[in-house]
Amino acid sequence: MMTTDPTMTRIGQGVELHHHQGRREAARDLFAQIWDDIGGERGDPLHVCVLAHSMADVQDDVRQELTWDLRALAAADQVTDDRVAQAGVPLSVAGLYPSLHLNLSECYRKLGDLDRARDHLRRARAGIGALGDDEYGNLIRGGLERLAGQLGDAP
């Protein structure tokens, strides 16, 4: 039986504020509060990963966005499939990486570091098989195609 993870629920509320209500600052404030509540980078790696990944999306400065995305990637390396399942997340750990690498690639592209952007694009593509043929998987695949076009990278 899946358990409901209250921290994941709160992170989801922040994502809802940002993506569905357009309340970016409110989402950033909520994410900052959750970050404090979990103990920052010392928190549960799943919480750190998902929260940092979400926090990156509400940054105004690309360097801050990059910092949060790098935190998310570092935390993902400590997450287990058992922990993901326990939290009721419908992905394997491997399913987290394509989105993380997509976001990092985009940050590096914006900063003009095209070698790093292409490296993360390559890493995202290498892990795309972990995603299902669903709305989320299609969203990430579409993002990778768009980014590849911007980087002049053949599919």
Question: Does 103 share its domain with 136?
Answer: yes
pLDDT truncated to tens, each residue of the chain (155 aa)? 345 789 999 999 999 999 889 999 999 999 999 999 999 999 999 999 999 999 999 999 999 999 999 999 999 999 999 999 888 888 889 999 999 999 999 999 999 999 999 999 999 999 999 998 999 899 999 999 999 999 987 65
- Tell me what pLDDT residue 2 has: 46
Question: Does 73 share its domain with 8?
Answer: yes
Range of the domain at 3: 1-90
- Tell me what pLDDT residue 154 has: 61
Question: Does 39 share its domain with 102?
Answer: no
Tokens of 117: 């952007």
Nearest residue to 51 via CA among 2, 84, 7, 98: 7
Pair 41, 71: CB distance under 8 Å: yes
Question: Does 75 share its domain with 11?
Answer: yes
- The number of helix segments (H) and strand segments (E) in the chain equals 8, 0
Distance, CA of 83 to CA of 48 (rounded, Å) = 13
Which pTM value belongs to this model? 0.91
Unique residue bearing structure tokens 């801050």: 64
Question: Does 65 share its domain with 3?
Answer: yes
Query: What single string gives the DSSP state of each residue in 92-125?
Result: -GGGGHHHHHHHHHHHHHHTT-HHHHHHHHHHHH
